[in-house]
């Protein structure tokens, strides 16, 4: 390390740190004058100080393959890893794979996000890149995470109703369940509308998890697509592993499902064939067929059944903190921000309640 006189002028060499593979990373500059060489040496020494002995001269693609993914595969669920791989291969690697990890900028990330076809795609890509760069920051390869800032996402081009609609009253839930003319569809509706279970939780449920004596239902596993095939895994989080109380209505519906399934109905309420669990695809297909047979009903999906339960329960007066625990959320803000969607008709009903309060106040009551 130092300044050396050469025929072309002065050469500056500074070891700025170690590459992730342990090799020394040396930077060199060639200057015409000694004054320029001394300034270049100062600049490189300042860079070494900022990097704390670690070099960021590794491509993002190499860092993902050699460090990020091996670390994450050891601790994360398979479907989470599958989501990371999707975002990396479709969005992140094509945009930044050959870039040095220290050269990524907020502006460059914004260009990548703006090229995404939907807000959901952009959000997923941003979240994955933010995790990768946070990992690099923890390893002291970068000083700050450029993906942690705010970004402008693509505008929504599809109405949310196309992905399913919320049914916001318990009376509507009962009428919908009544229209199910087969045991499998009825089970999906009961577990979604009466318990607010996630799709994977519905499909992973066994009869041994349903305690008719204590009237509780335990969530111990999920059954979802992982790397292209259904896979039985532990619940999503520790909060997701939970016991849920049964209402009298739900208790009665589960008893009917148990009796209707017969002795071959061994896995759980939705596994009527007995020899295998219902696949996520079959669950989706059953609800699609149910909508076709009942076109007057709202567009229901496994996700909106869960959202409908949360909205209707809160509108019925249940405390949001209780509903959050019921749904297996770690934070009540998730319940309010993502799962509660009162419709315009609900707001009009609320306005009538306010009108009655105004009338009582005006009359002096």
- Per-domain residue ranges of the chain: 2-51, 60-148, 162-347
Structure tokens at 287: 């609800």
pLDDT at position 178 over 70 = yes
Model's pTM, two decimal places?
Answer: 0.65
Contacts of 196 (CB under 8 A, 6+ apart): 305, 306, 309, 310, 313, 323, 326, 327
Classify burial at 257, counting beta carbons within 10 Å of its beta carbon; exposed 0-12, middle 13-18, buried 19 or more. buried
> Which helix (H) or strand (E) element contains residue 346?
helix 344-362
Tens of pLDDT, residue by residue over 203-259, are 999 889 999 999 999 999 998 876 667 788 888 788 899 999 999 999 999 998 888
Distance CA 277, CA 258 (A): 16
CATH code reported for the domain at 60-148: 1.10.150.130
29 DSSP β-pair partners: 12
3-state secondary structure (DSSP) of residue 157: coil
Residue 168, pLDDT > 50, answer: yes
Q: Residue 25 CB: number of other CB atoms within 10 A? A: 19
Q: For 284-331, how does the pLDDT look when each residue is reduced to its tens digit (9 = 90+)?
A: 999 999 999 999 999 999 999 999 999 899 888 888 889 899 999 988
- 162-347 and 60-148 share a CATH fold: no
- pLDDT of 160 > 60? The answer is no
- Domain 162-347: top CATH class: mainly alpha
What is the DSSP-derived secondary structure letter of residue 158?
S
């Amino acid at each position: 390390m130092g300044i050396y006189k050469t025929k072309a002028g002065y050469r500056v060499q500074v070891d700025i740190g170690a590459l992730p593979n342990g090799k020394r990373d040396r930077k060199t500059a060639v200057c015409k004058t000694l004054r320029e060489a001394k300034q270049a040496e100062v600049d490189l020494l300042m860079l070494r100080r900022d990097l704390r002995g670690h070099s960021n001269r590794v491509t993002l693609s190499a860092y993902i393959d050699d460090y990020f993914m091996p670390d994450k595969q050891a601790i994360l669920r398979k479907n989470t890893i599958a989501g990371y791989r999707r975002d990396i291969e479709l969005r992140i690697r094509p945009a930044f794979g050959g870039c040095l990890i220290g050269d990524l900028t907020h502006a460059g990330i914004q260009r990548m996000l703006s090229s995404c076809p939907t807000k959901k795609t952009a959000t997923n890509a941003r979240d994955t890149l933010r995790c990768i760069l946070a990992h690099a920051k923890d390893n002291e390869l970068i000083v700050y995470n450029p993906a942690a800032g705010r970004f402008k996402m693509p505008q929504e081009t599809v109405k949310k109703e196309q992905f399913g609609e919320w049914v916001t009253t318990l009376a509507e839930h009962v009428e919908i369940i009544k229209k199910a003319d087969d045991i499998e569809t009825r089970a999906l509706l009961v577990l979604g509308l009466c318990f607010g279970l996630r799709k994977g939780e519905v499909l992973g449920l066994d009869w041994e998890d349903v305690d008719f004596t204590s009237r509780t239902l335990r969530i111990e596993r999920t059954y979802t697509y992982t790397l292209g095939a259904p896979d039985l895994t532990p619940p999503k989080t520790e909060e997701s592993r939970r016991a849920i109380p049964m209402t009298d209505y739900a208790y009665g519906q589960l008893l009917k499902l148990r009796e209707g399934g017969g002795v071959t109905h061994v896995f759980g309420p939705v596994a009527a064939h007995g020899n295998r669990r219902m696949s996520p695809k079959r669950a989706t297909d059953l609800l699609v067929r149910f909508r076709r047979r009942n076109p007057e009903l709202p567009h229901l999906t496994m996700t909106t059944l869960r959202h409908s339960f949360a909205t209707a329960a809160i509108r019925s007066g249940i405390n949001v903190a209780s509903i959050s625990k019921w749904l297996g959320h770690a934070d009540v803000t998730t319940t309010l921000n993502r799962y509660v969607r009162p419709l315009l008709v609900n707001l009009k009903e609320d306005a009538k309640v306010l009108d009655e309060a105004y009338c009582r106040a005006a009359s002096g009551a």
